[in-house]
Amino acid sequence: MRWLYLVATATALLLSACSGSSDDTSTPAPGGPSGPRPGTWLSGDLHLHSDHSDDAADNPIEKLVKVAEERGMGFFTITDHDNHVEGRLTTWDDPAFRSDKMVLLHGVEYTTARGHANLFSAARFDHMRFYALRDRTDAEAGRAIAAEARAQGVHLSVNHPVNGDPWEFGFDMPFDSMEIWNALYAFPTDNSGAIRLWDELIAGGRRITGRGGSDCHHQTGIESLGLNVGNPTTWVYSQAPTAAGVLAALKAGHVAIGYAPTAERIRLTADADRDGGYETLMGDALPAQGQPVAFRVDIDRARPLGIYNVTVLKNGQPFLERRLFGEQVLDFEDTPAAGQRSWYRAEVRGSTPEAPALAVLAGFYGDFVGMTNPIYFGYE
């Protein structure tokens, strides 16, 4: 995307670069709210372009990896446009695509005339088989792409589904996740449309992970000031710090999206058996038995003076709104209807010091601090 170049140059003077680094990216799960499930929170960015994409020629892999490491990310990928190299991917074989600090995924942006999707894998795969499907326009094209992903064990994730280059292969195909937060939350893409679509798909009975992606193309120039590596950040609760672990967590929806790797992380858990242990994690599905369930929203690494407006959404509609000041936990209870599908997720709005100054002034980041994936009832 090249839209930010349209922003008046003068505004650049008001921007302050995203800053901050942290080693707090693989925080072990606290004993309580996450329950006994073993695992590790890992932060990462799932949509980035390097100089192996024509429109990111000033973004060398070496620099991207360095920035991600400095920001303390736990996993990383680079998703260059496959059409710029006619499907013959070059990113993975670049000697600069290596890290001793982060789990690396094999990634690519499947860039077609009918929309974009990121492909992720723990290992190399035969991308030319996907490339051969790119020009298909028949009704089965989307299913053929999904079948190829299944056959090769590749995670298929639709990008910016309704904005920019919308996805036209259809949403009834079995993909694994969807980019519901691309770049700054409110500008240049209003991500609320993607989130509405996500809720609609879930309402129809699907369990689809929502993820973020910065779509970072540059480390210099005006665009890099507004959006860069890790804005937003996708957090996964992974059983192991491995590529397979990250992808399993992504597929399972054990995923939160936050403003930056150093910003707040939102967590939704539930205690369905009321034993005091919040063992159900976002992404999990429970039977709809008509029993009351205790839920908990945690804001990990909340700022001491942070004010957070928490919205719990039930079945895509605001269910509970609460302002937290000096607290980081919101407990609530509800009874999902017996024998019906319901889903709960949380969004948190407020200010975060991570946001660039102009983004704050202009509301480009939409006061959006973070969100969770849902806990599902009646979807098993």
Closer to Zn ion by Cβ: residue 43 or 214: 214
Least distance (Å) between residue 83 CB and Zn ion: 11
Closer to Zn ion by Cβ: residue 213 or 245: 213
Tell me how many residues contact Zn ion (CB under 5 A). 4
Closer to Zn ion by Cβ: residue 3 or 128: 3
Question: From CA 268, how far away is CA 214, in angstroms rounded?
Answer: 23
Least distance (Å) between residue 216 CB and Zn ion: 9
Considering only the stretches 142-150, 215-223, 248-256, 298-306, report the one whose residues sit in contact with Zn ion under the rule CB under 5 A: 215-223
Task: Extract the tokens encoding 44.
Answer: 């990462």
Question: From CA 81, how far away is CA 293, in angstroms rounded?
Answer: 44
Task: Extract the tokens encoding 195.
Answer: 């989130």
- Secondary structure E strands in 106-225: 106-112, 115-121, 155-158, 177-182, 209-213
Task: Report the greatest alpha carbon distance in the chain.
Answer: 58
Q: Does 215 bind Zn ion (CB under 5 A)?
A: yes
Considering only the stretches 28-36, 88-96, 209-217, 361-369, report the one whose residues sit in contact with Zn ion under the rule CB under 5 A: 209-217
DSSP strand pairing (375-377 vs 75-76): unpaired
Q: Does 223 bind Zn ion (CB under 5 A)?
A: no
Which residues, 144 to 203, sit near Zn ion by CB under 5 A?
159
Alpha helices in 293-369 (DSSP H): 357-362
**Using CB under 5 A, which of 106, 116, 265, 267 touches Zn ion?**
116
Least distance (Å) between residue 110 CB and Zn ion: 9
Question: From CA 271, how far away is CA 295, in angstroms rounded?
Answer: 6
Q: Does 80 bind Zn ion (CB under 5 A)?
A: no
Closer to Zn ion by Cβ: residue 177 or 262: 177
Cβ–Cβ < 8 Å for 106, 124: yes
DSSP three-state, residue 244: helix
Considering only the stretches 141-149, 210-218, 326-334, 354-362, report the one whose residues sit in contact with Zn ion under the rule CB under 5 A: 210-218
Provide the binding-site residues for Zn ion, judged by CB under 5 A: 109, 116, 159, 215
